[in-house]
């Protein structure tokens, strides 16, 4: 383990590491972090010697951890001596054995209520028929989501994405804030008006929760009255996050140990989903009539919100703010793009061809670009509303990142079970025109076999870590010569690689590998997803700026994150992975992704004039 003296490995006080002043954070046993000032690497290769700075601070008050972190940054001459001394002085273990000290036995226990294994609700709640279990286990965003279903056995909570049915029977309407089962839910979401009238609740009947809703409003308004605004409250294991958007209040109550920033991001998406359905014009309703009861306006959209909240625990797009593409050969995607472009020139703002949550191709009018969050929210809206599947639809929708104030009109048609075409226009009377466009697109896609290629891609597995080329296909120029990498691991790929996600910063797109052997269980996947999310939050810490690399080890896995101007890479290794080897493997992953970029990314969102 200690083969690489250039890599300082230090223990950190877990509590002081993150922006989350949690007293004991099981995930954060150990981190190496390079600070943003560190000059970016000349090319996208990284070598072990680059992680040369280290953060050390062991006694930071949780509340002030973010600013303190900056102040207490100590740049050290890293050497293995330091570490050994440190460990010796701790009196924990003989220096020779310090490496084993890194692996702390931690109990990662989270699993939000509805989705949790039976531990969540004890004997009170029955989990059978949970309507919003994680969809497909292949949350890889690049995987055969099609028919694959590794839903957990025993009817616990997981459900496959294909025949997702959450929403219709979700919610547990019988529950209210007096029910034990309601109180035991691990993650609540609420939307309410600034007069305390409930608008949405993830669990339970909104009207039965009117009193609870009023309490939330009282708390928020009380702080607002003093010219301040309440951000969050920590109460034991629970974190209560508040988000005020004009007359709309959003609240999340969670004991899932997710970072504050991540939960706040989820509230933002919840608000975005609401805007997608209603636009910001609802604010005017409150200006005209403070008594305005908004809940009826959202009638019939429970499924949309359930599905959204559910995706917070399986879809990386919710925190990466990037979209993912269905892998297709370059000519196939080009063919799809060409026909979209063709029809789009007749006054369409955006033309999007999607397969489940993955983009096949998208084309936008001149100067108009689609934010990944809008794509995500739109896809969620369409996929969770059953009526879109049964017939062609024309519906007003709002793209909150594009223009939160006003409606667009979306023509939606499913070309097959999973593939759908969305044509967005500003004209409310162009249904028949868009219908004609759709027929043209459908014909071309059928004739050119694009549709069958899409289906094939859905069924095939995506990026499998086992397929990672053992040698760089194109040796990078400035690569440090290293001995060949051991691949004798029994699980995972090279050097114990289990999984990775790669986000292209310029393209706003990400790709992730299939979940393989050690990560077949949906709960493990969710846990890993949460770990990535936590990693993301600490890498993009607002207090300290963006970090460049982070290497984190706990009993379940090693997480490695690497951020450059061009990409963000999140990789998971088995817990015994060697750091130097892991970094080398990450270089190969990046090279691999670059080799495949024409198939896994959508290039040059076409623009056109009209």
The residues of the shown chain that bind another protein, judged by CB under 8 A, are 193-198, 207-215, 217-218, 221-222, 224-225, 278-282, 284-285, 288-293, 295-297, 299, 349, 365, 367-368, 396, 398, 402-403, 405-409, 426, 428
**What is the distance between the alpha carbons of residues 231 and 190, in angstroms, rounded to a whole number?**
15
**What is the distance between the alpha carbons of residues 78 and 54, in angstroms, rounded to a whole number?**
8
What are phi and psi for residue 569, nearest 5 degrees?
A: -120, 130
Nearer to another protein, 21 or 404 (CB): 404
> In angstroms, what is the minimal distance from the CB of 193 to another protein?
7
Nearer to another protein, 365 or 451 (CB): 365
> In angstroms, what is the minimal distance from the CB of 351 to another protein?
14
**What is the distance between the alpha carbons of residues 124 and 315, in angstroms, rounded to a whole number?**
29
> In angstroms, what is the minimal distance from the CB of 395 to another protein?
13
Helix-helix angle 450-459:330-344, to 10 degrees: 130
DSSP state of 393: E
34 near 50, Cβ under 8 Å? yes
> In angstroms, what is the minimal distance from the CB of 381 to another protein?
16
> In angstroms, what is the minimal distance from the CB of 428 to another protein?
6
What are phi and psi for residue 29, nearest 5 degrees?
A: -75, -30
> In angstroms, what is the minimal distance from the CB of 426 to another protein?
5
Q: Which helix (H) or strand (E) holds 233?
A: strand 232-235
Nearer to another protein, 99 or 295 (CB): 295
Nearer to another protein, 209 or 444 (CB): 209
Nearer to another protein, 402 or 603 (CB): 402
CA 192, 197, 203 angle in degrees (round to 5)?
A: 60
Nearer to another protein, 218 or 491 (CB): 218
Pair of tokens at residue 228: 């301040």
> In angstroms, what is the minimal distance from the CB of 124 to another protein?
22
Nearer to another protein, 157 or 175 (CB): 175
Helix-helix angle 330-344:431-447, to 10 degrees: 160
Where are any strands of DSSP class E within 286-372?
Answer: 324-325, 350-355, 358-365
**What is the distance between the alpha carbons of residues 348 and 366, in angstroms, rounded to a whole number?**
10
Pair of tokens at residue 535: 């990693």
193 near 286, Cβ under 8 Å? yes
> In angstroms, what is the minimal distance from the CB of 210 to another protein?
4
* C-alpha neighbours within 13 Å on the C-beta side of residue 34: 22
Nearer to another protein, 293 or 460 (CB): 293
> In angstroms, what is the minimal distance from the CB of 531 to another protein?
38
Nearer to another protein, 214 or 417 (CB): 214
> In angstroms, what is the minimal distance from the CB of 385 to another protein?
17
> In angstroms, what is the minimal distance from the CB of 324 to another protein?
27
Strand partners, 250: 191, 243
Nearer to another protein, 80 or 403 (CB): 403
Nearer to another protein, 275 or 454 (CB): 275
CA distances from 250 to 30, 200, 272, 574 (A): 34, 9, 11, 38
Pair of tokens at residue 55: 């953060």
Nearer to another protein, 85 or 428 (CB): 428
Q: Which helix (H) or strand (E) holds 587?
A: helix 579-600
**What is the distance between the alpha carbons of residues 66 and 13, in angstroms, rounded to a whole number?**
14
Strand partners, 573: 497, 558
> In angstroms, what is the minimal distance from the CB of 406 to another protein?
4
**What is the distance between the alpha carbons of residues 191 and 207, in angstroms, rounded to a whole number?**
12
Question: Coil, strand, or helix at residue 255?
Answer: coil
Question: Coil, strand, or helix at residue 579?
Answer: helix
Nearer to another protein, 291 or 474 (CB): 291
The tokens 């015994």 sit on which residue?
A: 576
Nearer to another protein, 414 or 608 (CB): 608
DSSP state of 174: T
Q: Which helix (H) or strand (E) holds 303?
A: helix 302-311
> In angstroms, what is the minimal distance from the CB of 436 to another protein?
20
Nearer to another protein, 163 or 609 (CB): 609
> In angstroms, what is the minimal distance from the CB of 218 to another protein?
6
24 near 236, Cβ under 8 Å? no
> In angstroms, what is the minimal distance from the CB of 579 to another protein?
48
Which residues, 6+ apart, have CB-to-CB distance to 497 below 8 Å?
A: 465, 468, 571, 572, 573, 577, 582, 585, 589
What dihedral do alpha carbons 150, 173, 230, 242 form, nearest 10°? 30
């Amino acid at each position: 383990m200690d083969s690489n003296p250039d890599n300082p490995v230090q223990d950190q006080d877990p509590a002081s590491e993150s922006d989350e002043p949690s007293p004991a954070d099981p995930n954060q046993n150990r981190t190496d972090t390079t600070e943003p000032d560190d000059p970016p690497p000349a090319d996208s290769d990284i070598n072990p010697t680059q992680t040369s700075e280290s953060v050390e601070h062991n006694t930071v008050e949780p509340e002030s951890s973010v600013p303190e972190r900056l102040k207490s940054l100590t740049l050290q001459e890293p050497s293995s001596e330091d570490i050994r001394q440190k460990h010796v002085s701790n009196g924990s273990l003989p220096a020779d054995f310090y490496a084993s000290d890194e692996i702390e036995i931690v109990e990662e226990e989270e699993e939000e209520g509805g989705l949790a294994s039976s531990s969540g609700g004890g004997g009170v709640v029955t989990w059978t028929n949970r309507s919003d279990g994680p969809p497909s286990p292949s949350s890889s965003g690049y995987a055969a989501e099609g028919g694959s279903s590794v839903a957990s056995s025993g009817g616990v909570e997981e459900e496959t994405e294909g025949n997702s049915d959450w929403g219709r029977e979700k919610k547990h309407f019988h529950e209210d804030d007096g029910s034990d089962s309601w109180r035991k839910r691990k993650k609540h979401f609420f939307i309410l008006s600034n007069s305390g009238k409930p608008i949405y609740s993830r669990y339970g009947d909104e009207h039965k929760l009117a009193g609870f809703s009023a309490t939330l409003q009282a708390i928020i308004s009380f702080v607002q009255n003093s010219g301040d605004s309440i951000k969050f409250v920590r109460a034991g294991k629970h974190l209560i996050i508040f988000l005020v958007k004009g007359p709309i209040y959003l609240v999340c109550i969670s004991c899932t140990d997710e970072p504050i920033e991540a939960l706040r991001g989820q509230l933002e998406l919840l608000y975005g989903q609401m805007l997608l359905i209603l636009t910001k014009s609802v604010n005017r309703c409150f200006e005209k009539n403070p008594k305005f009861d908004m809940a009826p306006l959202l009638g019939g959209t429970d499924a949309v919100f359930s599905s959204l909240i559910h995706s917070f625990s399986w879809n990386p797009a919710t925190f990466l703010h990037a979209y993912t593409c269905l892998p297709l050969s370059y000519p196939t995607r080009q063919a799809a793009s060409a026909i979209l472009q063709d029809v789009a020139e007749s006054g369409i703002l955006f033309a999007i061809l999607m397969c489940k949550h993955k983009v096949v191709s998208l084309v936008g009018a001149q100067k108009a670009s689609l934010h990944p969050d809008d794509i995500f929210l739109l896809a969620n809206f369409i996929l969770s509303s059953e009526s879109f599947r049964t017939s062609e639809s024309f519906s007003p929708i709002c793209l909150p990142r594009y223009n939160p104030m006003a409606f667009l009109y979306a023509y939606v048609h499913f070309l097959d079970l999973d593939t759908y075409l969305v044509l967005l226009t500003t004209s409310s009377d162009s249904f028949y025109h868009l219908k004609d466009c759709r027929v043209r697109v459908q014909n071309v896609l059928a004739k050119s076999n694009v549709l069958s290629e899409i289906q094939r891609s859905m069924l095939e597995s995506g990026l499998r870590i086992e397929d990672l080329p053992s040698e760089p296909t194109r040796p990078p120029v400035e690569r440090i010569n290293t001995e060949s990498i051991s691949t004798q691991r029994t699980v995972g790929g090279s050097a114990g690689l289990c999984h990775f996600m790669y986000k292209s910063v310029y393209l706003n797109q990400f790709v992730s590998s299939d979940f393989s052997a050690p990560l077949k269980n949906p709960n493990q996947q969710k846990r890993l997803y949460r770990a990535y999310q936590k990693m993301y939050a600490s890498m993009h810490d607002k207090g300290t700026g963006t970090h460049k690399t982070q290497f984190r080890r706990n009993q379940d896995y090693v997480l490695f994150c690497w951020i450059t101007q061009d990409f963000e890479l999140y990789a998971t290794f088995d817990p015994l992975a060697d750091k130097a080897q892991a970094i080398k493997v990450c270089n190969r992953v990046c090279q691999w992704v670059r080799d495949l970029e024409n198939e896994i990314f959508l290039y040059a969102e076409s623009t056109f004039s009209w």
